[in-house]
Amino acid sequence: MGKKTLPIKTVYYYDENKDEFSGITRKPKIIDESYKYIPTNKLWIVLSNIVYGIVLIAAFLYCKIKFGLKIENRDILKPYKKTGYFLYGNHTQVPGDGFIQSLVSYPKKNYVIVNSDNVALKGTEQIILMLGAMPLPTTIRGYKNFFNALEKRCKSGNNIVIYPEAHIWPYYTGIRNFPKTSFLYPVKFKKPVFAFTAVYKKRRLFYSPRIVVKIDGPFFPDESLTTEKATQELRDRVYETMTARSKESNCEYIKYVKSAD
């Protein structure tokens, strides 16, 4: 019999849509209409492929050793490997989530929509960009540039990864409510959507749980609806699927409790 996995601590939260528990605080970087999302420098592109390959190996080792990572149902992605798709996952690990998404669609590289603070640390911005980060604009005028870059990626058959919960809650076993906002992208660009849900399982020889990633889909935008309704409908289907999957977790490593204050 293995050790019973019990919460190692209790975390109190006030707002599931705003509270952040990653432990990382950075001043956001200004991302405006001049930001260059898709570099054209050939040397930069070569270096980015090298960096991505090295990090991918490190990601595999890290996730296997720390989490005993297992990814299920990856075969459903194969028919769309050339045309690309959107991937939506629950946000429960740092730095694990950055690694897990790359392994879900291996060997194809993903591009990940992130908050601007992810590229704010001096000396690391280019590396983060080489790994596929696409920071959200911090100015209204920056969104046209962002959408243009996203459209180019989609037309090139690239995969786009989004963590719709936005904030990291380590080892959280539920799915937090998230807005429909990010589901506008697959509706606008007519791309299939897949959900990948990290589920936490007990392990016999380890106190910490194992991560099993469950992939579901494809979900296609309903083209018979208006853009607004199709966005909401797509969000609801993905949310319901991820919520159902999350119930397969059978342990709780960190307990989250809503504060009464």
Give the HSE-up count for residue 94: Cα atoms under 13 Å, Cβ half-sphere.
Answer: 13
What percent of the chain has pLDDT above 90? 90
With a cut of 60, say whether residue 2 has pLDDT above it: no
pLDDT score of 23: 87
Average pLDDT, whole number, for the chain?
Answer: 94
Total count of residues recorded for the chain: 261
Between CA 239 and CA 233 the distance in angstroms is 10
pLDDT band at residue 5, thresholds of 50, 70 and 90?
Answer: low
Residue with tokens 């270096």: 47
pLDDT band at residue 1, thresholds of 50, 70 and 90?
Answer: very low
Give the residue-averaged pLDDT of 27-48: 94
Q: What is the pLDDT of residues 167-183, one digit of tens each?
A: 999 999 999 999 999 99
Give the contacts of 218 (CB within 8 A, at least 6 positions apart).
76, 80, 85, 192, 193, 194
CA 125 to chain centre: 18
**Domain range annotation of the chain:** 9-258
pLDDT score of 230: 98
| Nearest Cα to Cα of residue 213 among 90, 95, 114 | 90
Indicate the DSSP class of residue 114: E
Kindly report the number of other CB atoms within 10 A of residue 50's CB atom. 10
Of 64 and 7, the one with more pLDDT: 64
Q: Which fold has domain 9-258?
A: Glycerol-3-phosphate (1)-acyltransferase (3.40.1130)
Between CA 211 and CA 220 the distance in angstroms is 27
pLDDT band at residue 60, thresholds of 50, 70 and 90?
Answer: very high
Q: Taking the model in full, what pTM does it have? A: 0.94
Hey, which bits of the chain come out as E strands? Answer: 9-13, 70-72, 86-89, 110-114, 133-135, 159-162, 193-201, 210-219, 254-258
pLDDT score of 28: 85
Q: How distant, in Å, are the alpha carbons of 78, 149, 189 from that of 83?
A: 10, 17, 12
Give the residue-averaged pLDDT of 73-91: 97
Give the residue-averaged pLDDT of 57-72: 97
